[in-house]
Amino acid sequence: MSVPPTILVFDSGLGGLTVLREIVLARPDAHYVYVADDAFFPYGHHGEDQIIARVVPLIGELIEAHAPDLVVIACNTASTLVMSHLRGEYNVPFVGTVPAIKPACASSKTKRVSVLGTRGTIKREYTRRLIHDFAQGCEVTLVGSAELASLAEAALSGNEVSDADIFAELAPCFVESGGARTDTIVLACTHYPLLLDRLVRLAPWPVDWINPAPAIARRVSDLLGAAGRESDEAGAEMIFTSGRPHTLSRALVPFFGGRVPA
């Protein structure tokens, strides 16, 4: 039997699980290592130099420790900064997660698109460039949220999160201008799909929510080449950089395609 490929999925916290679950569906044959850099969460509150100085050497240590066949940076706040640094330093294929502005603008009928991300992602030159190159005549509203990633972590951890707190972060995405309304919202932070049911319920009017995770999974699968025929029996590993034991195992099992993260 062939050795399953190891895919390392990295995020500042639990948001990258929304990317992981799509990759697991596409590649049940792989072995997974999920790393949450919770010791430095939330990335959205750190400066650009701090994030580069944190993530680039940390990924080097993780490559050394786990010898992955491919690394997914399942975090927009990091990917919009570090991908070229990582590719320059390490000889492993990398897949990043960046705001899905191009498909959102291509599919918007009202030509009103909002991008909801961390304040860091929204400020990035990278994000501005995507809009410049791919807005395709759309009016793009950038919404930097200070709290939504933390609210998503809290909700997944079983804590009470109020509708009012979520709505306060979401409301600026809904814009009416020149007789047209926002019809498409880019989820430009991997934490936000954790709250999708609530975002849909709280939306003042229906919109399309763009989550790039399935496209990322297809990219990962293409890069790995033909899938093995069997699901990986070795389970999955979950690592918190704070070293805290994870008490969330049961809640996390669905994200790992039924594997219990060790």
Q: Which sequence positions are flagged as catalytic?
A: 75, 189
Piece of 5-13, 123-131, 207-215, 250-258 that binds ligand DGL (CB under 6 A)? 5-13
Query: What is the per-residue binding string for ligand DGL in 87-116, x denoting contact by CB under 6 A?
Result: ------------------------------
The binder of ligand DGL chosen from 7, 68, 77, 100 (CB under 6 A):
77
Would you count residue 191 as binding ligand DGL (CB under 6 A)?
Answer: yes
Piece of 75-83, 130-138, 170-178, 229-237 that binds ligand DGL (CB under 6 A)? 75-83
SS3 for the chain is CCCCCEEEEEECCCCCHHHHHHHHHHCCCCEEEEEECHHHCCHHHCCHHHHHHHHHHHHHHHHHHHCCCEEEECCHHHHHHHHHHHHHHCCCCEECCCCCHHHHHHHCCCCEEEEEEEHHHHHCHHHHHHHHHHCCCCEEEEEEECCHHHHHHHHHCCCCCCHHHHHHHHHHHCCEECCEECCEEEECCCCHHHHHHHHHHHCCCCCEEECCHHHHHHHHHHHHCCCCCCCCCCCEEEEECCCCCCCCHHHHHHHHCCCCEC
Residues 242-261 that bind ligand DGL (CB under 6 A): none
Residue nearer to ligand DGL on the CB measure, 41 or 94: 41
Spatial neighbors of 50 by CB under 8 A, at least 6 apart, are none
Piece of 56-64, 70-78, 131-139, 218-226 that binds ligand DGL (CB under 6 A)? 70-78
Piece of 107-115, 164-172, 189-197, 221-229 that binds ligand DGL (CB under 6 A)? 189-197
Residue nearer to ligand DGL on the CB measure, 68 or 193: 193
Residue nearer to ligand DGL on the CB measure, 30 or 189: 189
Would you count residue 190 as binding ligand DGL (CB under 6 A)?
Answer: yes
Residues 139-168 that bind ligand DGL (CB under 6 A): 149
Token pair for 1: 């039997």
Residue nearer to ligand DGL on the CB measure, 121 or 211: 121
Residue ranges binding ligand DGL (CB under 6 A) = 11-13, 15, 41-44, 75-77, 118, 121, 149, 189-191
